[in-house]
Structure formats: structure tokens, C-alpha cells
Amino acid sequence: MDFWFSEAHTPNVKLSIKVDRQLYSGKSEFQRIDVFDSPEFGRFLTLDGYMMLTEKDEFIYHEMITHVPMAVHPNVKKVLVIGAGDGGVVG
């Protein structure tokens, strides 16, 4: 039997991803946290049922956050990262 993760964006648009297994499921004081492993996207994180990031494409987001500011600054010595989300920017 196949296992699928489904996320509803609007009443007319839905996204489904075939999942090999669920790696983690828990609930914090603020949100439901799930981590899945899929053949197409690798591991991916969902919060309250909404996909936050995937192993396959996370570099796109992180490169735009880091490379653009670093490329326009001539001599970076120190950097302050506020927020950091999943930590990929500083990892």
C-alpha cells in the first residue's frame, strides 16, 4: 500500500507526494510537526500539515538568502542571522 502526504492549497488545487515512511510525528505547544521520507524529495518537514522544506530543493532558498548579500558586500567579516528558521543559512 502506498502512503501519500496531501496538502490542500485552495479548494481547486492540491499537492500529493508519495511517501516511503513517516520519520517523526509530534505536537509542540504551538504546532504539529511531521517529518517524512519520500523518493522524489528526500526528507521533508511539515508544520500543521503545510510543507516547509525538502532536502531536494532547500538549497535554492538558502542560496538566495546568503549568496546575494554576500556577493554585493566587498569584505564581509561578521554576519548576523536573525530568524534562521531551519538553520540551513548558517549550516
Cell of 66: 546568503
- Percent of the chain surpassing pLDDT 90: 36
Mean per-residue pLDDT for 57-80? 83
Residue 37, strand partner residues: 21, 43
Mean per-residue pLDDT for 38-45? 93
Least confident among 2-6, 33-37, 67-71, 86-90 = 2-6
pLDDT of residue 20: 94
pLDDT of residue 26: 97
Show me where the domains of the chain are located: 3-72
pLDDT of residue 85: 67
Topology at the third CATH level for domain 3-72: Spermidine Synthase; Chain: A, domain 2 (2.30.140)
Q: How many CA atoms lie within 13 A of 28 on its CB side?
A: 8
